[in-house]
Structure 1
Amino acid sequence: MKKITSIITNKYLLAGGFFVVWMLFFDQRDFFQQRERNAELKKLEAKKKYYLDEIEKTKQELQDIQSNPAALEKFARERYLMKKEGEDIFIIEDSVAPKNQ
């Protein structure tokens, strides 16, 4: 029993325990805040990867449009609804009425 109380009242053990508790709960950069920041960092890195992929796709599309007249025509017809002389375009919109409660 005396050995257990001497271990518990050891000043180095008490200081180490106090330090661990302080760093886990009370410090400016505590454990829980670090976990939240790491999760946010992972989300931001995923967004960064998505946007870099989209930039790469757009650059490829731009290069294709600049070098291929058929791709330019396809782009103009799809995006800006351009048409040839004597041609009719039919636009079909898929609209869903909002639910009123």
Structure 2
Amino acid sequence: MNTDYLNPLRWKRSFLISALVAFIAVWFIFIDTYSLLTKFQLESRKSDLIERTEEYKERTSELEQKIDELESNPDLLEKIAREEYGMRKPGETVYRIKSPK
């Protein structure tokens, strides 16, 4: 009959090895500067920033198109200046008509 499993030294050694492996795993997952938790958080932040960068690039492209359109069409520029900013030509009288609600 093999009684190796009853040997206290073997149990102690097994426990120490298991505890060491568990400690190292916990260290790498939670405590270390380059832990997996930190890595996942940084990767998540990176993907969010990349997404925001793409949105800003699209918005910049839209605004550049609008600038080109306004620079090439003086009538549109005048319309926006009058309607959105209340500008008028010298000597011109502007009458605002409020629509009934």
TM-score range, shorter chain: 0.5 to 0.7
Question: Which secondary structure state, in structure 2, belongs to the residue aligned with residue 87 of structure 1?
Answer: coil
Cα 1:46/1:74, change in 2 over 3 Å: farther
Deviation at 1:31, TM superposition (A): 1.6
Question: Which secondary structure state, in structure 2, belongs to the residue aligned with residue 49 of structure 1?
Answer: helix
The normalised TM-score by structure 1 is 0.61
Q: Do residues 76 (structure 1) and 81 (structure 2) align?
A: yes
Residue 62 of structure 2: which of 47, 57, 62 is its match? 57
Deviation at 1:88, TM superposition (A): 1.9
Return the letter of the residue paired with 1:74: K
Residue 53 of structure 2: which of 35, 48, 59 is its match? 48
> Would you say how many aligned residue pairs link Structure 1 and Structure 2?
89
Whether the 8 Å contact between 1:83 and 1:89 is mirrored in structure 2 is no
Gaps of 5+ in 1: 92-101
The normalised TM-score by structure 2 is 0.61
Rg larger for: 2
Q: In 2, distance between residues paired with 1:61 and 1:22?
A: 54
- Poorly superposed stretches of 4+, deviation over 6 Å: 12-15
Cα 1:53/1:13, change in 2 over 3 Å: same
Q: In 2, distance between residues paired with 1:89 and 1:44?
A: 45
Q: Do residues 89 (structure 1) and 62 (structure 2) align?
A: no
Return the letter of the residue paired with 2:59: E
Q: In 2, distance between residues paired with 1:50 and 1:22?
A: 38
Percentage of pairs with the same residue: 24
Deviation at 1:56, TM superposition (A): 0.8
Q: In 2, distance between residues paired with 1:44 and 1:78?
A: 37
Question: Which secondary structure state, in structure 2, belongs to the residue aligned with residue 28 of structure 1?
Answer: coil
